Amino acid sequence: MADDLGFDDVSFRGSNNFLTPNIDALAYSGVILNNLYTPAMCTPSRSALLTGKYPISTGMQHYVIVNDQPWGLPLNETTMAEIFQQNGYYTSLLGKWHLGMSQRNFTPTKRGFDTHLGYLGAYIDYYDQTYLQSSQNYSRGHDFRDNLEASHDKVGHYVTDILSDAAVELIEKHNVTAKPLFLLLSHLAPHAANDNDPLQAPMEELSQFEYIQNKSHRYYAAMVSRLDKSVGRVIEALANREMLRNSIVLFLSDNGGPSVGEHANTASNYPLRGQKHTPWEGGIRSSAAIWSTEFERLGSVWKQRIYIGDLLPTLCSAAGISLDPSMHLDGLNLWSALKYGYESVEREIVHSIDAVDPQPHLAYMRGKWKIINGTTNSGQYDGWLGQRITDEVDPRSVHYDQLIRNTTVWQQLQLLADKPQQERNITELRQQAQILCPTPANAKPCMPLIAPCFFDIEVDPCEQNNLYDEYRNTSIFLDLWERIDQYARNAHLPNNKPADPKCDPRYYRNEWTWWQDEKSSSGAG
């Protein structure tokens, strides 16, 4: 899982600005998920992944958990990790958590993960693993743990490499005959770090992108490139242990990229509208791909709409795990549809219903129809923010096809394919994975702070033509509106709690920790 990766920042979508050959090789070898939807921010997205429920069903719908806030994913919710653990899997989280840290009980090894190496909060510096909450006068605290112990062993090392090394080591040492493995490699990349130095990358990675003039974007390209290398290393490790044949490998981002504004990293969600923390497609559509020898249509683009909350029941089904109906999941089991490649499941998705002032908003979809009412940040990020930079092209793109075929990912996955993948037309798959947005004639604008907006996403994936005036009194729109109202009436109240200054790392040896369980060393408690 990438963090804040733009929809157009994997080159299998067609951009040649900078290339992601390993991710692309995984995508072309497997199934490109052209319509994978996530919530628009980190905490809601991760809660939906691990519970199989909409954030409105668990109280995780409003914004994110800020490091100084004493709340988390409710303890009565069962996580995907707990389910796999209870069914005999060894479960490991490497990297970001962001589902609560004020109490030990909120943290990964108390929520179904046998092991965790990584950080508990929103983000950290890529080298010193500290987090500075600039909105408050807290000290800059270290946030990196090996299970429940603060770990300083890797300070000075690049965190993408730390997590990749840990994944490779885990795979190399894992006893496959004793237990199957559930691994969630939850990268920091390419999320911005602290405000004083947000974009960071190793010099040897940066040197590949000297053709990019904008310094921030050059760093971003290098951050994504290092992430891409991580994908290659994990696939290679699985192949070396002969674990690939019986593995399911999924790549995705937790939400759209922030092109501008808070924690901006120069990500591009081209050609989609909006960005992270908005209800538009650019905030909630993830570039994703999945691979398994179980799939009958390897080397295809799957257009079925799928929600991140569907992954829990879908992956459990793939693993032969039966789920208790009393869990009341919002996610659907789409394993058969994915396995056989059919695209006929009409999926409703509650993207967001957030009634909290000052920016109440909702986004809901059923089939091809999408409703947006209200928006975030007073609408300042509601436009089309990404663009294809054509004058700065990765030199490797001249031999793109051969670059993909030369990756270890392509070669290892080819060995397990039923038919030789050399026959596969990479250019054709790349074209199929692109989202095309012709400008509609007589397009009607959308002003969600004034009235609802209604889109046909199949025809208009870039949300250019608002159909609300045309459909507002039809049964199509009114039925959807009634369904939204039903969800809103039954929504779990947000779990958010105000900041607690007792969290300040200065009280706990300059560590971000579960402060509600800790005895402060100097007067916080």
CB 282 within 8 A of CB 258: no
Q: Is 136:155 a contact under the CB 8 Å cutoff? A: no
pLDDT band at 357 (very low <50, low <70, confident <90, very high): confident
Whether residue 261 is contained in a domain is answered as: yes
In this prediction, residue 520 has a pLDDT band, given cuts at 50, 70 and 90, of low
272 belongs to a structural domain = yes
Quick one: pLDDT at residue 386?
A: 81
Residue 63: strand, helix, or coil: coil
Residue 303 lies in a domain: yes
Helix (H) or strand (E) holding 311: helix 311-318
Mean pLDDT (the chain, rounded): 95
Is 88 inside a domain boundary? yes
Q: Report pLDDT for 360.
A: 92
> Cα 462 vs. chain centroid, distance in angstroms?
20
Average pLDDT of 314-342?
97
Asked whether residue 287 is domain-assigned, the answer is yes
CA distance 175 to 181: 9
- 113-161 residue pLDDT tens: 999 999 999 999 999 999 999 888 999 999 999 999 999 999 999 999 9
Q: What is the maximum alpha-carbon separation in the chain?
A: 68
Strands 145-146 and 149-150: antiparallel
Residue 257 pLDDT: 97
- Average pLDDT on 347-353 reads 97
Q: What is the pLDDT of residues 476-500, one digit of tens each?
A: 999 999 999 999 999 999 999 999 9
The structural domain count of the chain equals: 1
Which of 5, 40, 34, 7 minimizes the C-alpha distance to 280?
Answer: 40
How confident is the model over 266-315, as pLDDT tens digits? Answer: 999 999 999 999 999 999 999 999 999 999 999 999 999 999 999 999 99
Answer yes or no: 42 catalytic. Answer: yes
Q: Among residues 62, 98, 116, 187, which one is catalytic? A: 98
Q: What distances in angstroms separate CA 495 from CA 42, 64, 491, 498, one per listed residue?
A: 15, 10, 12, 10
What are the tens digits of pLDDT across the range 431-441?
A: 999 999 988 88
Residue 234 has pLDDT above 90, yes or no: yes
Does 98 participate in catalysis according to the annotation?
A: yes
Choice among 42, 446, 462, 503 that is catalytic: 42
User: pTM to 2 decimals?
Assistant: 0.96
Establish if 207 belongs to a structural domain: yes
Whether residue 221 lies inside any domain: the answer is yes
Whether 104 is in a domain gets the answer: yes
Q: What is the DSSP letter of 269?
A: -
When mean pLDDT is compared across 20-29, 231-240, 409-418, the lowest value belongs to 409-418
Q: Which of 218-232, 243-257, 275-289, 388-402 has the lowest mean pLDDT?
A: 388-402
Token readout for 283 is 């905030």
pLDDT at 421: 52
Two structure tokens written together for 9? 């920042």
Number of H helices, E strands in the chain: 15, 16
How many C-beta neighbours within 10 Å does residue 525 have?
11
Q: Would the pLDDT of 423 be above 90?
A: no
Q: Which two tokens mark 28? A: 């072309």
CATH code of the domain in which 146 resides: 3.40.720.10
Task: Note down the domain range covering 302.
Answer: 11-417
